[in-house]
Amino acid sequence: MTRELGFAQAINEALDLCLANDPAVYVVGLGVPDPKGIFGTTLGLQQKYGSDRVMDMPTSEGGMTGVAIGSALVGMRPIMTHQRVDFALLAIEQIVNQAAKWHYMFGGKMRVPLVIRMIVGRGWGQGPQHSQSLQAWFAHVPGLKVVMPATPYDAKGLLIASVEDDSPVIFIEHRWLHNIVGHVPEGLYRVPIGEARVVREGRDLTIVAMSYMTLEALRAAELLRADGVEAEIVDVRTVRPLDEALILASVRKTGRAVALDTSWKTAGFAAEIVARIAEEVFADLKAPPRRAALPECPTPTTPALANRYYPRAADIAAAARELLGVAPDGALAVPATGLPLDVPDPSFTGPF
């Protein structure tokens, strides 16, 4: 019997196991021990491990990141949490100038085993300052690892691997994944950082996705199947280091690629995917690679515009069809779910 768990619970279980497994691990962040427990991911941990190991903090993102770094230098393994990526911008200096570089710039003498969880907001008016998804920034910085799980299984396994890693890891969670459910084994297991995964096999094109976009890609693949198109989906899982080999192997096979992104198109991570494909498997390409990403504007708050802001399965399928020169099956072109477009599922009733 497979064990099913929600994504948020999978994170919670990973934290729990890491705390139990290594006394050096501690969890810190605004609201970590609060009654809602960061969307459920930290619930119960303070009760179990005490307020020294599972702790709230002042609204001082920059300083507290420095504190976490300092504690890591002397042997601790902090896990810091930000409820939105956007808040972590106050800590960019510490993350990029300091955490990412201490190992290198001291000739290997120091190490910063720090995990920083950052949550990407979306829907229900999250708007311009609560919805950014800046994996491309972190992926640009040597010294950082960047992880973006799409499934509960990967969330748990990658978080454990991140906590056990001796380098700083940016662990990006999409708010719309917290409620999804999937198979999650009990106990400690690792999903290796730097390994992508083929989540669906197909012969006609490769869709390269990450995090929540993997789900949209799966939905798009269903739409495409109705047109007789079989999409292969690669979930990169880790954006730095990138599993280039797996992506390229898939594109070599299919000859076509669409790279998805949870962020803006220009200079986003999908650009890196497309660039590598163009550089490395050019001769195997049957059509130019494509991207499906956010349009070039800040996130509008009103649902009227937010609903046109995020690329959905139908948009991905449309890009794929264009690439293949396939006409869409009219009936399926616009999936009529009846759901409002600014919530992941009907259980989500705002405000967050």
Partner 1 sequence: MNAETLGELFYAMLRIRLVEERIAELYAEQEMRCPVHLCIGQEAVAVGVCANLSPDDYVLSGHRSHGHYLAKGGNLKTMLAELYGKVTGCAQGKGGSMHLVDLAVGFLGAAPIVGSTIPIAVGAAFGSALRGERRVAVAFFGEGATEEGIFHESLNFAAMKKLPVVFVCENNLYSVYSPLSVRQPAERDLMAIAAGHGVAAERGDGNDVAVVYALAGEAAARARQGGGPTLLELTTYRWREHCGPLYDNDLGYRSEAEFEGWRQRCPVAHAERTLGARGALDEAEIARMHAAIAAEIDDAVAFAKTSPFPKPSALLEHVYAQ
* Chain residues that interact with ligand TPP, rule: CB under 6 A: 30, 59, 61, 83, 87, 90
CA 192 to chain centre: 15
Contact between 278 and partner 1 by CB under 8 A: the answer reads: no
The item of partner 1, its own copies, ligand TPP, none sharing an interface with residue 189, based on CB under 5 to 8 Å by kind, is none
What track of x and - describes contact with partner 1 for positions 298 through 327 (by CB under 8 A)? Answer: x-xxxxxx--xx------------------
Spatial contact of 288 and 189, defined as CB atoms under 8 Å apart: no
Give the DSSP letter string of 4-35: EEEHHHHHHHHHHHHHHH-TTEEEEETTTTST
Do residues 33 and 79 make contact, with C-beta atoms less than 8 angstroms apart?
A: no
Please confirm, yes or no, whether 130 is among the known catalytic residues. yes
d(CA 294, CA 311): 7
Residues 283-302 that bind its own copies (CB under 8 A): 283, 285, 287-291, 296-298, 300-301
310 contacts: CB under 8 Å, gap ≥ 6: 122, 294, 341
Residues 135 to 154 in contact with partner 1, rule: CB under 8 A: 142-143, 145
Of 45 and 144, the one with the shorter C-beta distance to its own copies is: 144
Parallel/antiparallel/unpaired status of strands 169-174 and 181-183 = unpaired
Taking only Cα atoms into account, the Rg of the chain, rounded to an integer number of angstroms, comes to 20
Window 175-234: residues binding partner 1 (CB under 8 A): none
Number of chain residues interacting with its own copies (CB under 8 A): 54
141 contact choice in ligand TPP, partner 1, its own copies, none (CB below 5 to 8 Å, kind-dependent): its own copies
Query: Using CA atoms, how far apart are residues 128 and 64, in angstroms rounded to an integer?
Result: 24
Q: Which stretch binds its own copies (CB under 8 A): 68-76, 88-96, 171-179, 217-225?
A: 88-96
- Positions of E strands within the chain: 4-6, 25-29, 54-55, 77-82, 115-120, 145-147, 169-174, 181-183, 197-200, 205-209, 231-235, 238-240, 257-264, 290-294
Binding mask 103-122 for its own copies (x = CB under 8 A): -xx-----------------
DSSP letter, residue 99: I
Rounded CA-CA distance 120/236 in Å is 17
Count of residues engaged in binding partner 1, rule: CB under 8 A: 80
Q: Identify which of residues 129 and 329 has a Cβ nearer to partner 1 in the complex.
A: 129
Residue 141 or 260: which CB sits closer to its own copies? 141
Interacting residues toward its own copies by CB under 8 A: 62, 86, 89-90, 92-93, 96-97, 100-101, 104-105, 127-129, 132, 134, 136-137, 139-143, 240, 242, 263-264, 266-272, 274-275, 277-280, 282-283, 285, 287-291, 296-298, 300-301
Question: Which residues are known catalytic residues?
Answer: 130
